[in-house]
Chains A and B, each alone.
Chain A
Amino acid sequence: MAIRTHGLSARHYPSRIVIYGLLIAWAFICLFPIYWTFTTSFKVAVDVTQGHFIPWVDFTPDWKGWRSVGLSPDTIGQISTARDEFFKRFENSIIASVCAAALAVVIGSCAAYGLSRFNYKFGPMKNNDISFFFLSQLILPPVVLAMPFLVLYKELALLDTRIGLILIYTLTVLPIVIWIMRDQFDTIPQELEQAALVDGCSVWGAFLRIVLPIALPGMVAAFILSVILCWNEYFFAALLTSTNAKTLPVMVASQTGSQGINWWSMAALSAAAIAPLIVIGVFLERYIVKGLTAGSVK
């Protein structure tokens, strides 16, 4: 990223201290809960109640939390129902979020391309109306769909299945994908495809061979953002799944509810649940930012 000098400048000494002070303070606010969760997963009860913070300095790390989920070094080789349960939920979360994001990116990209390039007329609806129709799904709160889906899924035998979750997650991220991809396609000059069309390419050929490779960064951004949103989704998963298709957030939530709070195992569970997201956040931040800012700056 290019260094920008307008806005606040950090060249003068006093203002520099203020700026870095504020930056570090906010970074602390952002990172401390994450740090706390990870360190707590290595604490025993005494360390938690006495409010110890720094491993090896004021407490000795212990595998107790991770042992209770079957992920500590000494239990990793053994059979553990807690670990099986955890991996089952983990697998459900991965399959539901990745499949939903992929499906949304495929049908969303096609729709966004069509809306960006051609003029449609569905009865009284033209391009802008169709776009608005898709984007307006964003304002639909999950509760409105939750109960009709509960009844419908029961009739369709989709309750507590991954396919059911995938369908509804695709639906929730589809408007966002269309928003991002439409912005992406609008920035690609049309001359490229027109040249291909003159050369005898079909509309779909031009789309698949020429436009898609250029739009790939946008698709990656839309995909990653969708995966994150689906991974974190709780509301539908809590209502529509029970034993088979339960996802990680539902598992984490149910642990807090039933047996009071079992600190070390909760911390280990939360840490394991957020770890993949932190990895994604650190390495793919560029794409997330790209996805979030699509269409906001014109």
Chain B
Amino acid sequence: MDPTVQNSIAPLPRHALVGSATEAVTAGVSPQRVEDGKRIIILATIGFAIVALMQVLFDAGLSPWGFENWRPVLYAYVLWGIALGAGQVRMRGAAGHKALFVLPAVLFTVALVIFPTFFGLYIAFSDWNLSSFEGRRFSGLKNLYDLFADPYYWNAMKNMVFYALMVLPQYAIAFGLALLLNADIRARKFFRVAFLLPFMLSPVAVSWMIGKSLMEYRFGPVSNLARQLGWDNPTFFTSPWIAKFSIVVMDAWVWIPFIMIMLLAGLQALPKELSEAAKVDGASKWQSFWQITFPLMLPVSVTAIVLRIIFQLKLADIVINVTSGGPGGATDTISSFIFREYRDRSNVGYGTMLAEFYLVIIIIFITLLLNFVSRWMRRMH
């Protein structure tokens, strides 16, 4: 990050009391300290740049001096971050102290998200197979053309649409459960813990517990139950649509508690008088739910559904472990497809292009979704 950008963090007092104190301190910083601070930051930046440049040249084979790996550059970045913080404090007094609160998180995220994402773009436009000796070769838009011609990728994309839509039935079930838990019942604590437990379990364990054990064809209890209910051949993972629904069931088992807990909190925050007033007016329970509870719950519902869709778009673990995307790609998600692209073929360049393209689609989709939701919510009010 450019240090001059950092320097422009200005103290904008939100509260008069804190604000006036801040300004007094900022004004009290002597020019000497400002000079010192600037010097620290400039020196650290030069130091970091030298280390990074040295390693770049060494790595490119242009210079004999360098380290055996890039880790010293990482240390240099950490030191640079510390110097930046120290310089801020020196230069700007109390305002610098305030900047220290967000600085670590910002530097951390920039180093681990922004940089890798852009580095990913560099990989994405190259032909790079980690298992071949040739190393990286720039290949322009070839990966992108391949992507558009890849039927499996678009098939996985279609599956993602299906999985995202399946959030709605999960929401309906979760709402029902939240209503049940909110009713006047005994042993509420027991039921709440029991209902929450699936959310705590790792998807990998769930894959085995449900996918490979309970749904086992020969003697899994669920298969046995299905046989007794009259389904002769209860294979959950061999025909495309049944396999898709089986994955959805497992995924729902894990995630319904998440939606339920959010909705339950929403229900408990509703003013009690409303439903009582409805009761006095003689409204039936059904009416009072649709006319009072449900509309009041809309904001919480929307938050829960949007968050759930965001998490659903990352669905991978269960698919990887239960079906590996089979049969014939019917249960594949983008993530599991790319996972195999790397695991089976070490195809880093193409895999990264697929992932970056998916990211663009997700960003567009989420932006549209949020826009639509906020407009719709405004119209409701």
Residues of B within 8 A of A170 (CB): 108
Partner of B69, one of A155, A198, A203, A266: A155
Does the CB pair A141–B205 fall under 8 Å? Answer: no
Q: Which residues of A contact B295 (CB under 8 A)?
A: none
Distance in angstroms from B166 CB to nearest chain A CB is: 17
Q: Does B179 belong to the interface (CB within 8 Å)?
A: yes
What string of 1s and 0s marks CB contacts (under 8 Å) between A97-128 and chain B?
00000000001101101110111111100000
Q: A23-B180, A139-B362, A143-B339 are in contact. Are A270 and B205 (CB under 8 A)?
A: yes
Question: Which one of A61-69, A77-85, A215-223, A281-289 contacts B?
Answer: A281-289
Query: Which one of B120, B317, B359, B366 contacts A147 once the chains associate, using CB atoms below 8 Å?
Result: B120
B120 engages A144 (CB within 8 Å) = yes
Flag if A167 contacts B112 (CB, 8 Å): yes
CB distance from A157 to the nearest CB of B (A): 4
Query: Which residues of B have CB within 8 Å of A188?
Result: none
B359, closest chain A residue (CB): A144
Tell whether, in the assembled complex, residue B102 and residue A27 are in contact, meaning their CB atoms are under 8 Å apart: no
**Mask: chain B, 1-38; 1 = CB below 8 Å from A; 0 = not:** 00001101111111101100100000000000000000
Whole-angstrom distance between the alpha carbons of A199 and B358 in the complex?
A: 53
State whether the Cβ of A234 lies closer than 8 Å to any Cβ in chain B.
yes
Cβ of A90 within 8 Å of any chain B Cβ, yes or no, is no
B158 lies within 8 A of chain A by Cβ: no
B70 in contact with A155 (CB, 8 Å): yes
* Interface: B193 (CB within 8 A): yes
Known: A148-B117, A155-B70, A256-B321. A134 touches B221 (CB 8 A): no
Q: Are B348 and A147 in contact (CB under 8 A)?
A: yes
Pick the residue among B112, B190, B200, B272 that contacts A277 (CB under 8 A).
Answer: B200
- B219 A51 Cβ-Cβ under 8 A: yes
> Does residue A87 face the partner (Cβ distance < 8 Å to B)?
no
Q: Which residues of B contact A31 (CB under 8 A)?
A: 194, 197
A248-290 vs B: 1/0 string, CB under 8 Å? Answer: 1110110010000101001100100110011011100100110
Q: Provide a sorted-by-A list of 12 A–B residue pairs whose CB atoms are within 8 angstroms.
A: A1-B188, A4-B182, A27-B191, A110-B102, A117-B14, A118-B11, A130-B106, A256-B212, A270-B208, A293-B262, A296-B300, A297-B269
B residues whose Cβ falls under 8 Å from a Cβ of A = 5-6, 8-15, 17-18, 21, 69-71, 73-74, 94, 97-102, 104-106, 108-109, 112-113, 116-117, 119-120, 123, 130, 176-177, 179-185, 188-198, 200-210, 212-214, 218-219, 221, 224, 253, 257-258, 261-262, 265-270, 272, 274-276, 285, 293, 299-300, 303-304, 310, 313-314, 316-317, 320-321, 334-335, 338-339, 342-343, 348, 351-352, 354-356, 358-359, 362-363, 366
Q: Told that A50-B219, A143-B354, A266-B213 touch, could you supply 15 new A-B pairs with CB distance under 8 A?
A: A19-B180, A30-B194, A34-B197, A111-B101, A114-B101, A115-B101, A118-B14, A120-B9, A142-B335, A144-B355, A171-B108, A248-B202, A250-B204, A256-B207, A270-B205
The 6 A-B pairs with the shortest beta carbon distances in the complex, nearest first, are A114-B101, A232-B202, A111-B105, A119-B12, A8-B183, A293-B265
